[in-house]
A = this chain, B = another copy of it.
């Protein structure tokens, strides 16, 4: 069924039909589409464009169709271009000519925008839950390993000792920003275009505000031209997804690295590992590799929509049909990876002994420089002096702890016997006792703040 064939004489080319068809992609919008139609039917009734009987008939027909979809019993037929056509075609089969009254004053242009926004609003709620689950897993992990010291890295090189809990909490805050952004963009998704018609507005006096309210929208679009071509909410969502994907890819990179034989700081649970078809000994962190790789996909989806929108002339153009595949793909991708990330973090074994073993006292060189600073040496100078000590230790193939006082004093006579006291990982960690620092007290505060954000101190995450 073509909704638009009146003035056409010829047939549509078959390749063109394939190109234009979007039903497979649109299918998931059926719920939003039908509920949107129900609300619109009621609005037409209120506006005097449908009698009570007509309204009742249409509503019942739509309910039947919804049930068919829910029961997986809806049968598409050739010619069902998109979800709107399919539903209207079926409605016509069920209730006859009166079905043709449903689209009074409504265009697919405002309809599809409404459907997509309803769909995405629902998904946003799921994402909030899914991201929170990852945050909960992080907080639980941090809470269960508050005393574990590990090497902190910059440039991939040992830098300064930090708490494992401090490291894992660093991801809490990335995700926290994601949640904040999600809450903000949700408001811009929840805006109703319904009643914008093809581009100029609705001529039958439907009440757009009531329509919006009924469908759960928080606001309505203020300009009908903008309403039918605005895909900002999709771009904004895809930007969000891309950045979240980047965060998860960084966590994944860390976990892949730290579950390597050489680091061995964590062990990914077997439930999130796979083996090799050829190498019997392998235990691969596939879960986190896939998470890392998916970031590319999420970024690509964003580029797709931005590029498609770039330079597009005013109002609705069919190019906009290209918004949904990347949108749906990013939605699906995130719903695939978020539970896996939560599972990996929640179940991974922290091998504190390997972390401890990886601590070398070169990582305390800054503490040694700070020691000189406290004795009055300007930091830049003390940095140089300790650098010299490091060089001597390396040359002698000894640790900083093992370097003799004489050697230290050969570098600077400010060094005293008490220098050896600062060469302690615990002491180093405790020293960074500033808000957001790695000192146990500071991390405990940080954890409390994180728990407060999650809304509960009693988290029951399997760990």
Contacts and interface: CB of A to CB of B under 8 A. Distances in A.
A309 to B, nearest CB: 5
Interface string A11-27: 11101101110000000
B311 A4 contact: no
A410 interface: no
B318 A11 contact: no
B293 A299 contact: no
Contact of A274 (B12, B249, B336): B12
Contacts of A277: 3-4, 84, 103, 107-108, 383
B15 A223 contact: no
Interface residues of A, number: 203
A143 interface: no
Q: Max chain B CB contacts within 10 Å: which of A252, A274, A304, A318?
A: A318
A327 to B, nearest CB: 12
Interface in A237-268: 239, 242-243, 245-246, 249-250, 252-254, 256-257, 259-263
Contacts of A270: 8-12
Contacts of A169: 223
Given A4-B383, A290-B20, A437-B202, A296 B281 contact: no
A9 to B, nearest CB: 7
Contacts of A385: 6
A431 B205 CA distance: 9
Contact of A314 (B158, B206, B254, B296): B254
Interface string A312-353: 111111111110011001000000110110010000000000
Interface in A421-455: 428-429, 431-439, 442, 446, 449
A207 to B, nearest CB: 8
B314 A250 contact: yes
Contacts of A179: none
A33 B170 CA distance: 25
A2 B275 contact: yes
Given A6-B385, A6-B391, A7-B391, 11 more contacts: A7-B280, A7-B281, A13-B269, A15-B340, A20-B274, A153-B315, A174-B232, A177-B188, A180-B188, A292-B310, A300-B305
29 contacts: A4-B387, A7-B281, A12-B271, A13-B269, A103-B380, A106-B278, A109-B278, A153-B314, A155-B318, A157-B282, A172-B223, A173-B223, A173-B226, A198-B278, A198-B279, A200-B428, A200-B429, A200-B438, A203-B433, A204-B370, A220-B435, A257-B313, A261-B358, A279-B365, A282-B365, A292-B319, A296-B307, A296-B310, A297-B304
